[in-house]
Every structure is written in C-alpha cells, then in structure tokens.
Structure 1
C-alpha cells in the first residue's frame, strides 16, 4: 500500500483504528524490559506507541505516512507523553540494528515480497536479549470481513512467519481467531498470527 493511500486514510478526522492500544499489546507488553527503548513499526496513528510511552517506555515510531505521524504527535500531546516519530518506508529502508530493547508491530501489512524484509529489520533493530512482538492478520482473514487488507497478497502465512522467527526463542505463537474492536477498520472476529520472541 502506498504512502499516498495511507496519507488519505489517516486524513480522516477520527483515528481510524481508534486511540486505544491493540488488545494483544495491552495483554503482553510487560514482557518488554521496564523503561526500555521500544520501536513501534508501521505504527500509523500511534495508539500503541502512546500506550507504551504511558507505561514508562522510551518510544520511537516508524511509519511512511506523514499524516499518521502527525496524528501520533497529536495523540501524544493529548496524553501528556513524548514519542519520537520517524518517517520511513519499511519495505525498502531498514531501521539501524541493535538500537532497542524491544520492538512491536500491529497489523503492519505489506506485500508478501516485502514481508521478510520488514520482519528482519524489526528483529535486527533489537539488541541481544531484547523482545519482538507482533500481531498481523493471517491468510485466512479474508472470509471474516472484519478488517485488514482485501487481498491475500497483503496477508501473512503462518509457515512463513515460523521460518522468520526460527532462530530465536519463541515465547508465544498463536494462529487463530481473535475478536478486535479498533476504531472503524477492525471490527469483530478475525483470524490473526501473534508472535513474541526473544533475541538470544
């Protein structure tokens, strides 16, 4: 999906995925080292980044949409926290390695040919001993019609994900249904892949 498409989506007056964090992040964020530096990949309007900043983390968010990043700054100001924002096309630009104690991504959907690059960049950005966690829609999401991309080309295959995380300590892997109520774009039962790994 292009920068222009995301800029258009985020131009909506509302926060299209809501202002509250993803449920998976809310349930599991405490695995991240307390007070650590955390990178939020493909973070959009910033709901997860702001939540983590409220928990005392030092947060940097990466997204290709300038409008999404501006809304992140707006939400951070409303909530009285500080979040660093960086514009980057994560399908072609890597984040520098070994910068963070943890990294997260929520529904960072890119074309299949770009998915391995994105996940590797996220893992590489974390120091040894750090944690990576993400939730994405699986290939089985399309029939659910509850959100996410409208083509399988932008969804994730569980076998691919297992290959990408094979070299790391897996603390959590889930492939199945999950109910999500996130703004206007994620409403109802869907089919997700969840991962928490430690880089050791």
Structure 2
C-alpha cells in the first residue's frame, strides 16, 4: 500500500484522532532540557498532538506531514486551542527543506522512522538547537502494542547514536521496554528508542 494513502486512510477514518490528544510523555519529560521556545519543526507530525502542545508553550511550530487528513486535523486542534500552527503537506524525505535555509531551535521526529530526516536534522538546527527522536526498536517485532512490524523501518541498537554523533551532543538516550504510554494506539509493553541531542552553541 502506498505510504501516503495508508496514512490518509488512517487519519480520515479515525473517530476523533488516530493517536490521541496528549503529547508524547518523552517530550513532556524533557521540556526542561530543551532550548527556550523558538522555532520548531515537527517532522511527520500527523495530527499535531506534539505540535499543538508546543505551540501552547510559546513555540513557533512548523508541522510537516505527507497526509493531508492528518495536517487538517492538526489545524482544527490548533484552532480549538487558540494557538497558531504552520502546516505543510509534504514528504520530508523528498522536500528541499533545509537546503532552502530553514533553521530551527527544535526538530521533532516522534514515531517517524526516517533515517534521512534524522541525518539531515543537524543541518536544520540552529546553534544550541535540539533534536528529539522517539520510535520503535527492532525488539518491537511481534508485539501487539503498536508500531511498524517491518524490520527495515525499526531502529537498530545504537543506530540513532551513530546517525547524530559526532555532530550533535547526546543529552539523553534510552533503548528499553516501556510499560505504559500516553498513546491509545500503543497500549501495553513496547520497546522504544528515545534520543535527545543538542547542536553545539
């Protein structure tokens, strides 16, 4: 199935939102470690659960996702919260973003398993900016608690570390089994990889 079509269907058929309204618990837990609110790129941000939350905290957020249905939902959620959200429907792996001079204080890739985007993020960050990545590890294969079931998509051990070092300074890294989550689609134990890294000032 075409990737864009798959996500259009998922978002369009959701009764409310496909992934729920609460931001990532990892994002919430590391807020004190992030730069002061500035410009944020939410890569593959879908329905905007993280983007809307950050916008409510004073961030200027650009949400980019390939699914129009998800981006439209994000817009409605932002309007309901009374916050502004910049939205673009695009495939970031094919977009010229970054080469056009875009720079951000924070780049998010939550459940967006893109090696190309993580590798390019160092070029998109301003000095002192942060990259936050959260996704599923190879150990998630066969588990019913969500995430891709394709080993070509899931993160390998230490893969994120190899992608960001030595260009970024790793602030937080974990690769472990997580018992609970904020996400209604990912109930039950799941194996996650989480990274927070900063570009030197």
For residues 172 and 189 of structure 1, what CA distance do their matches in structure 2 show?
A: 21
| Secondary structure of the structure 1 residue equivalent to 2:16 | coil
User: Is residue 10–residue 67 contact of structure 1 (8 Å, CA) maintained in 2?
Assistant: yes
Q: Deviations over 1:26-49 (max 9, x none)?
A: 111232222211111110100000
1:94, distance to aligned residue in structure 2 (A): 4.2
User: Is residue 7–residue 66 contact of structure 1 (8 Å, CA) maintained in 2?
Assistant: yes
For residues 187 and 161 of structure 1, what CA distance do their matches in structure 2 show?
A: 24
Q: Does 1:80 align with 2:82?
A: yes
For residues 33 and 98 of structure 1, what CA distance do their matches in structure 2 show?
A: 17
Aligned length: 194
Q: Which residue of 2 aligns with 1:63?
A: 65
Q: Does 1:198 align with 2:193?
A: no
Q: Which has the higher helix share?
A: 1
Q: Which residue of 2 aligns with 1:6?
A: 7
User: Is residue 7–residue 67 contact of structure 1 (8 Å, CA) maintained in 2?
Assistant: yes
| Secondary structure of the structure 2 residue equivalent to 1:128 | strand
Judged with a 3 Å threshold, the aligned counterparts in structure 2 of structure 1 residues 94 and 172 are, in CA distance, closer, same or farther, namely farther
Q: Which residue of 1 aligns with 2:175?
A: 175
Q: Which residue of 1 aligns with 2:105?
A: 101
For residues 153 and 17 of structure 1, what CA distance do their matches in structure 2 show?
A: 23
1:98, distance to aligned residue in structure 2 (A): 5.2
Structure 2's unaligned 5+ residue stretches are: none
Moved runs in structure 1, 4+ residues, more than 6 A? Answer: none
User: Is residue 135–residue 192 contact of structure 1 (8 Å, CA) maintained in 2?
Assistant: yes
Structure 1's unaligned 5+ residue stretches are: 110-114
1:118, distance to aligned residue in structure 2 (A): 1.6
Pairing partner for 2:38 from 24, 36, 39: 36
For residues 120 and 165 of structure 2, what CA distance do their matches in structure 1 show?
A: 15
| Secondary structure of the structure 2 residue equivalent to 1:164 | helix
What is the TM-score with the length of structure 2 in the denominator? 0.91
Q: Which residue of 1 aligns with 2:132?
A: 133
1:134, distance to aligned residue in structure 2 (A): 1.2
User: Is residue 48–residue 73 contact of structure 2 (8 Å, CA) maintained in 1?
Assistant: yes
For residues 60 and 149 of structure 1, what CA distance do their matches in structure 2 show?
A: 25
Q: Which residue of 2 aligns with 1:112?
A: none
Pairing partner for 2:48 from 41, 46, 49: 46
For residues 30 and 56 of structure 1, what CA distance do their matches in structure 2 show?
A: 14
Q: Which residue of 2 aligns with 1:187?
A: 187
For residues 94 and 146 of structure 1, what CA distance do their matches in structure 2 show?
A: 34
- CA RMSD, 1 decimal: 1.5
